[in-house]
Amino acid sequence: MNSSVNMEKLVSLSKRRGFIFQSSEIYGGLNSCWDYGFLGVELKKNVKEAWWKSVVQMRSDVVGIDSSILMHPDVWKASGHLDCFSDPMVDCKKCKHRFRADDLNSEKCPDCGGELTDVRQFNLMFKTFMGTVEDQQTTVYLRPETAQGIFTNFKNIQSTSRLKIPFGIAQIGKAFRNEITPGNFTFRTREFEQMEIEFFVKPGEDMEWFEHWKQERFNWYLNYGMKKENLRFREHEKDELAHYAKACVDVDYKFPFGWSELEGVANRTDYDLKKHIEKSGKDLQYFDEETKEKYIPYVIEPSAGVDRSTLAFLVDSYEEEEDRVVLKLDPRLAPFKAAIFPLVKKDGLREISMDIEEKLKKHFTVFYDEKSSIGRRYRRQDEIGTPFGITVDYQTKDDNTVTLRERDSMKQERKSIEQLASIIGKKIDQ
Ligand code: GAP
């Protein structure tokens, strides 16, 4: 972690500049829910696109899906979430505060020293009701993971894509958990987005693929600029494995509040497909045409959090230098790729600048700014991670060149207007 960053500074920058706001702020806020502002939405979109590019677009053995959030209630009976997806909870009898029992080191309330209730299991799924006639309503659940929409569509996707094992199905989407102790800004929330792959393999080849995905996913964070010293693997102990997992390793990030999970890579075995076969009565086995074998595939699951990755990219890129705060985001993730500044608004410089903006915005996101001194405009863009500044000055009128300033080195070079799209494009098209 970069020594100058702390969560207070990051939360403040996020709000002040338009990355992330508290949900329902005008009503006093809704605990653990967050809204992404005009910069946050671009950053988060770029994180999702980077993931999709790496696991779907660049591979011939993974395809995508977008399944619904609400599913048949039997899905959650079969998957074990109705019975097992719970955390141990205790309440303080005096101050009424609620805690996860496994977070506590003492038998007393950590806030007031009061006596605690017995431990109860608290199911994390949100319930709602489907149907318009009250006595015919069905209880349905907001999905706590996107994975089940992949398992229930295993046959649909396999038969339509005609992919052969080993192959994977990827999904990005919202998930909901009524967490007992949400917190640390967007790290643990009750509504969040996941990026999940279920990768189906032949039993016996599972641990090989587990290793493959472990490395692939670790390298993805490095490839998008995260510092190696801030990333680590953490193997799960047998007693902390989820109810469906044979092995699991977390990719952890060194947040200002300590090492915490960014992503889990799990070996889910044939647990889910087997349970869905039992509950639905449908044959979800795979038929290997070459060997004429029929079997239930094993599943390797890399499961990442969009909000956690976005937060980690923000933390990792934050730097304080002598006279500026700068987000050294990978240009592919930066909300805006370039900012365009006329040195002054008059003498035709504004028109030239706006013309450049029109040309460049066909290729990537740009920001136009004509307010205050050039130095201050540069600083404002540094603070939101814009990798390039383009300044239009009087020389531009003579020779069609501009000053191109690079965010990290602050190096300035004269470039012709015609070159801009290709110079900047190369940085974001890797
Ligand atoms: N399908 C497997 C699964 O859901 P998980 O470890 O519970 O596994 C996967 O969740 C990822 O989803 C986590 O590594 C984390 O990045 C993200 N995630 C889980 N709960 C979250 C929460 N309450 N807030 C934000 N992100 C969360």
Give the pLDDT confidence of 400-420 residue by residue, as tens digits: 999 999 999 999 999 999 999
177 CB less than 6 Å from ligand 1? Answer: yes
What are the backbone dihedrals phi and psi of residue 65, each rounded to the nearest 5 degrees, phi first? -155, 155
Distance 81 CA to ligand 1 centre (A): 14
Question: What DSSP string describes 251-314?
Answer: EEEEETTEEEEEEEEEEEETHHHHHHHHHH-----EEETTTTEEEPPEEEEEEEEHHHHHHHHH
Average pLDDT, the chain: 95
Could you tell me which residues are beta bridge partners of residue 301?
Answer: 266
List own/partner pairs for 160-165 with CB under 8 A and 24 or more apart.
161/63, 163/61, 163/63, 164/288, 164/289, 165/200, 165/201, 165/202, 165/286, 165/288, 165/297
Q: Residue 245 has what DSSP assignment?
A: -
Handedness of CA 97, 102, 108, 112 (dihedral sign): negative
**Structure token pair of residue 301:** 């699951």
**Structure token pair of residue 82:** 């109705």
113: left (phi over 0), alpha (psi -120 to 50) or beta: left
Which of 142, 197, 261 for mutating ligand 1's site (highest number of atoms within 8 Å of CB)? 261
Distance 140 CA to ligand 1 centre (A): 21
Q: What is the pLDDT of residue 3?
A: 62
Q: What is the pLDDT of residue 137?
A: 83
CB 118 within 8 Å of CB 129:
no
Give the pLDDT confidence of 293-346 residue by residue, as tens digits: 999 999 999 999 999 999 999 999 999 999 999 999 999 999 999 999 999 999
Which protein residue's CA is at the shortest distance from atom 16 of ligand 1?
305
Which protein residue's CA is at the shortest distance from atom 22 of ligand 1?
188
Give the pLDDT confidence of 94-103 residue by residue, as tens digits: 999 989 898 8
Distance 106 CA to ligand 1 centre (A): 27
Q: What is the pLDDT of residue 2?
A: 57
Handedness of CA 61, 64, 65, 69 (dihedral sign): positive
Q: Which atom of ligand 1 is nearest to the CA of 145?
A: 4
Helices (H), 172-270: 206-223
424 class by beta-carbon count within 10 Å (0-12 exposed, 13-18 middle, 19+ buried): buried
Structure confidence at residue 185 as a pLDDT band (50, 70, 90): very high
Q: What is the pLDDT of residue 105?
A: 86
Round to whole Å and give the CA distance between 130 and 137.
5
Which of 235, 303, 313 for mutating ligand 1's site (highest number of atoms within 8 Å of CB)? 303
Distance 344 CA to ligand 1 centre (A): 49
Distance 263 CA to ligand 1 centre (A): 7
Structure confidence at residue 430 as a pLDDT band (50, 70, 90): low
- pTM of this prediction? 0.95
Q: Which atom of ligand 1 is nearest to the CA of 147?
A: 1
